[in-house]
A and B are shown apart, each in its own frame.
Chain A
Amino acid sequence: MKSIRNHLSLIIALLSILFSIQVFTIVDRSIESYKEKLANNYSVIVVSQRRLLPNEILGINKIILDSSELTPDAIIKKLNNEMDEKNIQLLKLTLPKFYKLNLKYYPNPDEIKKLTSDLLSNKNITKVEDYSHAHDTTYKLLLLFKSVVSVFAVSVFIVTTLLIFKELRIWQFKHTERMSIMGLFGAPVWMRSAVLFRLSTVDAVISSVLTFGIFIYFASSEFVLEQFKNIGIKVVIFDPINDFLLLLGVAVTLSVLLASMIVLGHKEEV
């Protein structure tokens, strides 16, 4: 019973680390997905004194994906009744050219500032409307959320790592007698510590499998999927291969690293 309790405390500690890592990954993916959505709906309007070639626009800043000219036909149509055709043609020639620029991704405020400055450095461009304020608030809120989750994940990581370390020390005390008897017969350090490494690796695998189960459940839960649908984004909640391998790697590395620290810190009886 005591042994199960010892195992459980390490498994739970590892589980909380893996859980925080996966939650952080989901939040990160959500923000990336939302940024993609913002980029699709976002464009910059440029006013130029003369017609600009598409290549000329693309060369201004690498972030520009494509450009399309906005025709003034809709406005001119309203003037059709008041002006004759000759004047309308003249007006068309004298009107500035409007371009809608689509971007490769949703830029951060600094990138928007740089883009506006690059566009205005072209002598033909007289005005740039970036509409950034419309998306900025939501974007900044998401970044704030990501920062809070990061801080939370790091805190959980530190606290649980300390818990794991303490747990392994309890194991070491428990196994000290056996380890020193083995030492009396010349067992090398790795052989004396084999149990410690085996137990920590087994617990790392168990905690990874439990995390796998929990997130596979979340990934197929209607309720969770509905929440993402409401925000209008599609997110991979849990990739059964890549995410599992990452979590397993983190859990095994962490537990083996801590077990090694304990073994190396153990004074040899010489």
Chain B
Amino acid sequence: MDKVIIAKDISLAYSSSETIINQANFTVNSGSFVFITGASGSGKSTLLKSLFGALKPKQGSLIVGGVELSGVSTSKLNFLRRHVGIVFQDYKLVKEWTIEKNIMLPLLINGYEKTVTQNQVDTLLKHVRLKHQAGKYPLELSGGEQQRVAMARALAHNPILILADEPTGNLDNYSSQLIWNLLEGANEQLKTTVIVVTHHIPRSMNVDYKHFHIEYGSINEVN
């Protein structure tokens, strides 16, 4: 099975601070569902940031989607990011754009045709149950609704990899369940690799998953 992520002896640190992840080794197979857990401040989000190139490894080799992220060029990083869907805990929606345009963003960046874009956005709006809110702006929606928009945006361009940073933190049960269903659906039906950083793995998971736990700077596989 193809490896979508290969990490060899990677150490992660923010400049002028102590090392957060220390010489970690792990791989993620293409099409797998992965949970990353750990205590607050253990480095879960830091690891996730490194997977989309927002933080370069201090040492070691980190290959994501065939792109070596140590010393990656801007153009290669952009190329990788065009094939990755990211969901942030704080949603990161463009406030001055409508919900519809926010979901369109990855499709516009990837140069999809207008009709394809519109069809895809309509489909996703139905999936996240926000069809009636399409013309609204992010700040007019609740937290749960905004996260569903972020989820739809992450799925819009059928990415090879979805990275989600605590996607259900502070959400009501309805929105949380909707988001887990969408992540499972993408993994099962589209064979998209999904990596979720979370404090708690939901009990009702319908897919096989891999579980990494971060503790004291090292990444350990649980099972």
Pairwise interchain contact B78-A186, C-beta atoms closer than 8 A: yes
Residues from chain A with a CB closer than 8 A to the CB of B109 are 182, 185-187, 191
Cβ of B162 to closest chain A Cβ, rounded Å: 12
A-B contact pairs, 6 of them (CB 8 A): A177-B94, A181-B93, A182-B94, A186-B109, A270-B54, A270-B77
Docked-complex contact A181 and B78, CB < 8 angstroms: no
B96 close to A187 (CB less than 8 A)? no
Greatest chain A CB density within 10 A among B78, B86, B92 is at B78
Which of A182, A185, A189 is close to B86, meaning CB atoms less than 8 Å apart?
A185
Q: How far is the CA of A14 from the CA of B79 in the complex (A)?
A: 37
Question: Residues 176-194 of chain A: 1 if any B CB is under 8 Å from the residue's CB, otherwise 0?
Answer: 0110011111111101000
User: Could you say which residues of chain A place their CB within 8 Å of the CB of B82?
Assistant: 185-186
Q: Which residues of A contact B80 (CB under 8 A)?
A: 186
Does B33 touch A at the CB level, under 8 Å?
no
Q: Whole-angstrom distance between the alpha carbons of A177 and B88 in the complex?
A: 14
B74 in the interface (beta carbon within 8 A): yes
A226 at interface by CB-CB < 8 Å: no
A residues lining the B interface (CB < 8 Å): 177-178, 181-189, 191, 268-270
Query: Once the chains are docked, how many angstroms separate the CA of A9 from the CA of B80?
Result: 39
**Tally of B interface residues using CB under 8 Å:** 25
CB nearest to B111 among chain A residues: A191
Q: B126 contacts the other chain (Cβ, under 8 Å)? A: no
A185 to B, closest residue via Cβ:
B106
Q: If A177-B95, A185-B106 touch, does A270 touch B78 (CB 8 Å cutoff)?
A: no
Alpha-carbon distance A268/B84, docked complex (angstroms): 18
A270 and B92 within 8 A (CB): no
Give B66-80 as 1s and 0s: 1 = Cβ < 8 Å from A's Cβ atoms. 000000101101111
Chain B residues with CB below 8 A from A182, complex form: 94, 105, 109
Give every chain B residue within 8 A of A269 (Cβ-Cβ).
54
Kindly identify, within residues 72 to 120 of chain B, every residue whose CB is under 8 Å from any CB belonging to chain A.
72, 74-75, 77-84, 86, 92-97, 105-106, 109
Q: Tell me, rounded to whole Å, the shortest Cβ–Cβ distance linking B77 to chain A.
A: 6
Complex: A181 Cα to B84 Cα, angstroms: 13
| Contact among A181, A188, A189, A270 for B56, CB-based, below 8 A | A270
Does B144 sit within 8 A of A, measured CB to CB? Answer: no
Residue of chain A at shortest CB distance from B92: A181
Partner of B72, one of A181, A186, A187, A270: A270
CA distance A184 to B106 in the complex (A): 10
Closest A-chain residue to B83, C-beta based? A186
A184 touches B81 (CB 8 A): yes
In residues 106-165 of chain B, which contact A (Cβ within 8 Å)? 106, 109
A132–B54 Cα distance when bound, in Å, is 74
Q: Which of chain A's residues have a CB closer than 8 A to the CB of B35?
A: none
A185 and B81 contact, CB distance less than 8 A? yes
